[in-house]
Amino acid sequence: MRVVIAEDDTLLREGLVLLLASEGIEVAAAVDNADDFLAAVAAERPDAAVVDVRLPPGFTDEGIAAAAAARRERPGLPVLVLSAYVEDSYATELLAGGADGVGYLLKERVGKVEQFLDALHRVVAGGTVMDPEVVSQLMVRRRADDPVRTLTPREREVLALMAEGLANPDIAERLVVTETAVSKHIRNIFAKLGLAQGDAGHRRVLAVLAYLRS
Amino acid sequence: MGRVRVAAGATRRALPFLLRGLVSSAVALVLLIRVLLVAAFTLIGVGWPAIPSTVRAVRRWAGDERRRVAAWTGRPVPAPYPPPIPDDPAIPTRALLAEPATRRDLAWLLVHGLTGLVAGFLAILLPLSVVNAAVVPVYWWAVPSDEPVQSPYPVTSWLGALGMLPLGLGWLVLTLVLVPLLARWQAGAAARLLAPTKDARLSERVTELTATRAAALEAHGAELRRIERDLHDGTQNRLVGVIMHLGIAERALRRDPASALPLLLKAQDQAADALSELRDVVRSIYPPVLAERGLDGALAALAARCAVPCTLRVDGLRRLPAALEAAAYFVVAEALTNTAKHSGADHAGVTVTLRPPAEPGDEEALVIEVRDDGHGGADESGGSGLAGIRRRVAAFDGHTDVTSPPGGPTVVRAVIPCAS
């Protein structure tokens, strides 16, 4: 796998390169601004891009715009956006241009290398990965009569993992339960929220996110 | 006698004023004709584009008049035009015409154009009449008798010539009374019409206060953003770095424990960096030394502490808003750190000046210059020092210039406007 990295902080950029390289992922280019990033995507034709939300010159959300621009140039380019804090609107903006192959994670998730790589692979495979923080941020803003409140704690955990883009076997592994139990939870969740039983993958993530955002 | 002396003094002062008023009213008349022409052309639809330049010409002349009146009365006559500056060509014609000041300027043009001439001529004729009445008895006999002196009656005899003396006295009294009166009236009318009305002064004050309040809020917001950014780009990133390197180390430990050590050391370094950056942020929020000794005292302490011999010159400083002082302190501290670390200089110089506004409507500005005689070639992308300076200065709408040619010298110059 070949990736392009856009991260303006020198030490973090070098860290990311080191991390990916030591996991056998080739870093085709590591740049510190949006323009170089777009040029690198065009020149290197990577399998995925890892982008920091804040890039020069404005240090606000240039990374989101750069990711969107890269995906306009190369439709379907898997992009994993890293951010120092979770902002629901960033997630919305990212997903606006199509949700397959999009990920949005807090920066510190890279510390759990295995899960980070897993997320990267799922994005490359066309999946959608949302940081658990996005989901919990959306969950706390619920009205009293909201069906989300009728979910059991276990079902909420499953919902959050679904939003992260995990498939049933992965959810079962994370929660240390059987896959059958996971399927049962998911059926309950969809029934309680009145969602159509979705298939696996990013469509399920979208359904959950759309529900949570509504 | 005392009253006569006072009147004479007043008349002596009033005469030149009225004579200059004669000239200015002649110009006012010309301008009045121009205004009427432009108005007429505007009525038939072609004069519109000439309006702004005409209004501005009137304003310029009204400005001269304000100065003339202020010089004579000793009381300034403030201009009533609202900011932005009246010469700004961007002000649309309609807004220009809607300003009450424009109408009052025109009223002054009319009044002064018509009365200034009369007052000016009186200021010439009355004293001349006095002089004439005084000298007629001396020369009337030299004038041919078929064309006798006619002021105001034909003087054809010594008796008639002697009659000139009470007449001259009359002229003199009239001069002493009327000339100062005319000057006072002219100055008063101009001051009333050309100065802002009380309402306008109040509303101008309100506008001003609103603007300063907005600027203060803006500076506060800028400071919050700066702190957030420092925390985000510094401390937070360093901590992410720690976590990342610990993560890589963890993977390495499983595969090849020996390769984990450098990663752990790196994580440790970054944790130390995070701590020191956090300390810097805390210090940068407001260095205690500023509160204790003010900006000049704090700068003196910085200069004294600098590893490179450093001279400091401050000019015109007074207490400034805390956020501004903190920014100036930060700029100098950071620039001197750069000098000490990278420049190889033998000497550094710091100049901090409070620059008065270059022209009305401008703002005061704090100009900070740090120069060293080192080898130059400062790299902005290398450390975060220069970038930090730029960011901090930009937060106050200021700008930073760095010149550092190879071979030196390096000059960091920051200009921060002070909304006062």
- Segment B227-237, tens digit of pLDDT: 888 888 888 88
Binding-face residues of B in 190-229 toward A, CB within 8 A: 229
Q: Are residues A164 and A121 in the same domain?
A: no
Q: What does the pLDDT look like over B309-341, one tens digit per residue?
A: 999 999 888 888 888 888 899 899 989 988 888
Q: Tell me what pLDDT residue B87 has.
A: 58
Distances (CA, A) of B47 to B51, B90, B94, B294: 7, 18, 13, 58
Same domain membership, residue A10 and residue A92: yes
Question: Best of B226, B229, B237, B250 to disrupt the A interface by mutation (most A CBs within 10 Å)?
Answer: B237
Contact B248 A15 (CB under 8 A): yes
Instruction: Say if residue A16's pLDDT is above 90.
Output: yes
pLDDT at B360: 60
Question: Which of A66-75, A88-97, B380-389 shows the highest mean pLDDT?
Answer: A66-75
Q: What's the rounded Cα separation, in Å, for the pair B50 and B68?
A: 27
B233 at interface of A, judged by CB pairs closer than 8 A: yes
Option in B229, B250, B270 nearest A59 (CB): B229
Assess whether pLDDT exceeds 70 at residue B382: no
Structure tokens at A76: 């379907």
Instruction: Specify whether A103 is located in the same domain as A169.
Output: no
Of A119, A127, A149, nearest to A212 (Cα)? Answer: A149
Q: Are strands A79-83 and A48-52 parallel, antiparallel or unpaired?
A: parallel
CA dist B133 to A32, A53, B174, Å? Answer: 94, 94, 13
Q: What is the mean pLDDT of chain B?
A: 84
Please state the length of chain A.
Answer: 214
pLDDT of residue A26: 94
Residues in chain B, how many?
420
Give the number of other Cβ atoms within 10 Å of residue A115's Cβ: 18
Q: Which pLDDT score, from 0 to 100, does residue B250 have? A: 92
Print burial letters for B50-62: b (CB count within 10 Å at least 16), e (below 16). ebbebbbebbebb
Provide the sign of the torsion angle of the four alpha carbons B81, B82, B85, B88, taken in this order: negative
For A60, which residue in chain B has the nearest alpha carbon? B229
Residue type (1 letter), B410? T
User: For chain A, how many structural domains are there in total?
Assistant: 2
pLDDT over 70 for what percent of chain A? 91
B244 contacts chain A (CB < 8 A): yes
Q: Do A116 and B247 touch (CB under 8 A)?
A: yes
Query: What letter does residue B257 receive in the DSSP assignment?
Result: G
Mean pLDDT on B16-26: 90
Residue B84 pLDDT: 54
Per-residue pLDDT tens over the stretch B399-411: 889 988 888 799 9
Cβ distance of B248 and A16 shorter than 8 Å: no
For residue A112, list chain B residues with Cβ-Cβ distance below 8 A. Answer: 247
What residues in B contact A11, CB-CB < 8 Å? 237-238, 241, 270
Which residue in A98, A207, A117, A103 sits closest to A164, CA to CA?
A103
In this structure, are residues B378 and B401 in contact, taking their beta carbons and an 8 Å threshold? no
| Predicted pLDDT of residue A2 | 93
Task: Look at residues A130, A150, A174 and tell me which one is the last residue of a structural domain.
Answer: A130
User: Is residue A54 within 8 Å of A64, Cβ to Cβ?
Assistant: no
Burial class (CB in 10 A: 0-12, 13-18, 19+), B300: middle
pTM given for the model: 0.53
Q: Tell me the count of A-B CB pairs closer than 8 A.
A: 53
At residue A211, the pLDDT reads 67
Of the candidates B232, B241, B248, which has its C-beta nearest A11's C-beta?
B241
Best of A5, A9, A116 to mutate (most B CBs within 10 Å, chain B): A9
pLDDT digits (tens, 9 = 90+) for B64-77: 888 888 888 887 78
Question: At CB < 8 Å, which residues of chain A contact B?
Answer: 9, 11-12, 15-16, 18-19, 22-23, 54, 59, 84, 107-108, 110-114, 116
- Here the tokens at position B184 are 């006072």
CB pair distance less than 8 Å for A9 and B233:
yes
For residues A80 and A35, membership in a common domain is answered with yes
Widest CA span of chain A, in angstroms? 52
Query: Are residues A98 and A13 part of one domain?
Result: yes
Q: Percentage of chain B surpassing pLDDT 70?
A: 93
B203-216 pLDDT per residue, tens: 877 887 777 677 66
Do residues A125 and A30 share a domain? yes
Q: What mean pLDDT comes out for the span B114-132?
A: 89
In terms of Cα–Cα distance, which of B90, B3, B403, B391 is closest to B232?
Answer: B391
What CATH topology corresponds to B292-420?
Heat Shock Protein 90 (3.30.565)
DSSP line for A8-77: S-HHHHHHHHHHHHHTT-EEEEEESSHHHHHHHHHHH--SEEEEES--TTT-SSHHHHHHHHHHHHSTT-
Tell me: do A12 and A73 sit in the same domain. yes
Contact (Cβ atoms closer than 8 angstroms) between residue B190 and residue B26: no
Predicted confidence at residue B370, as pLDDT, reads: 94
Indicate the burial class of B72 (C-beta count within 10 angstroms; 0-12, 13-18, 19 or more): buried
Distance between CA atoms of A4 and A49, rounded to whole angstroms?
5
Residue B163: its pLDDT value, please? Answer: 80
The answer to whether the Cβ–Cβ distance between A111 and B270 falls below 8 Å is no
* Contacts B251 to A, Cβ<8 Å: 22-23, 113-114
CB contact under 8 A, A84 and B237: yes
- The CA-atom distances, in angstroms, between A94 and each of A116, B13, B101 are 19, 79, 54
Between CA B175 and CA B128 the distance in angstroms is 10
The pLDDT of residue B151: 65
Q: Are residues A76 and A50 in the same domain?
A: yes
CATH number of domain containing A152: 1.10.10.10
Residue of chain B with shortest Cα separation from A54 = B233
Please compute, for residue B77, the number of CA atoms within 13 A of its CA located in the half-sphere on the CB side: 21
| Mean pLDDT across B20-37 | 90
Question: CB distance A19–B247 less than 8 Å?
Answer: yes
Q: How far is B226 from chain A (nearest CA, A)?
A: 11
- Distance (Å) from the C-alpha of residue A37 to the closest C-alpha of chain B? 17
Which pLDDT belongs to residue B71? Answer: 85
Residue A163 sits in which domain range?
A: 135-213
User: Domain check: are A47 and A147 in the same one?
Assistant: no
| Best residue of A11, A85, A87 to probe chain B, by most B CBs closer than 10 Å | A11
- Closest residue in A to B234 (Cα) is A9
How far is the C-alpha of A41 from the C-alpha of A46, rounded, in Å? Answer: 6
Contact A12 B237 (CB under 8 A): yes
Q: B232 vs chain A: nearest CA distance in angstroms?
A: 7
Residue B299 pLDDT level (bands cut at 50, 70, 90): very high
Domain residue spans in chain B? 2-196, 212-285, 292-420
Quote the radius of gyration of chain A (alpha carbons, Å). 17
Residue B357, classed as helix, strand or coil, is: coil
User: Is pLDDT of A214 > 70?
Assistant: no
Q: Is the pLDDT of residue B290 over 70?
A: yes
* Chain B nearest CA to A182, separation (Å): 29
Tokens 């240090």, residue located: A59
A19·B244 Cβ contact <8 A: yes
Gap from A163 CA to chain B (nearest CA, Å):
24
**Looking at residue A104, which CATH number applies to its domain?**
3.40.50.2300
Q: Which residue has the tokens 């992260």?
A: A164
State whether A122 and A156 are in the same domain: no
Per-chain mean pLDDT for chain A: 85
Task: Please check whether residues A145 and A186 belong to one and the same domain.
Answer: yes
**Do A53 and A81 meet the contact criterion of CB atoms below 8 Å apart?**
yes
Which tokens sit at A137? 């941020």
What mean pLDDT is predicted for residues A191-211?
Answer: 67
Question: In this complex, which of A22, A23, A111 lies closest to B243 when CB atoms are compared?
Answer: A111
Q: Dump pLDDT digits (tens) for A149-191.
A: 788 888 888 888 887 778 888 889 989 999 999 989 888 888 8
Angstrom distance (rounded) from CA A82 to CA A65: 13
Nearest-CA distance A58 → chain B (Å):
10
- pLDDT of B420 higher than 60: no
Query: Nearest-CA distance from A22 to chain B in Å?
Result: 8
Taking an 8 Å cut-off on Cβ atoms, the answer to whether A12 and B240 are in contact is: yes
Q: Which residue has the tokens 């890892």?
A: A50
Last residue of a domain, one of A130, A154, A171: A130
For residue A44, pLDDT over 70 is answered with yes
Count other Cβ atoms within 10 Å, centred on residue B13. 13
Read off the tokens for B419.
């909304």
Residues with Cβ < 8 Å from B145, sequence gap 6 or more?
B156
Indicate whether A119 and A154 sit together in one domain: no
Closest CA to B302 of B337, B276, B266, B272: B337
Q: Is B396 helix (H, G, I), strand (E, B) or coil?
A: coil
Nearest Cβ partner of B247 from A9, A54, A111?
A: A111
B261 against B142, higher pLDDT = B261
Residue B390: closest C-alpha in chain A: A57
Q: Say if residue A207's pLDDT is above 70.
A: no
Q: Name the more confident of B360 and B16.
A: B16
Q: Where is the domain boundary, A130, A146, A175?
A: A130
Residue B217 pLDDT more than 80?
Answer: no
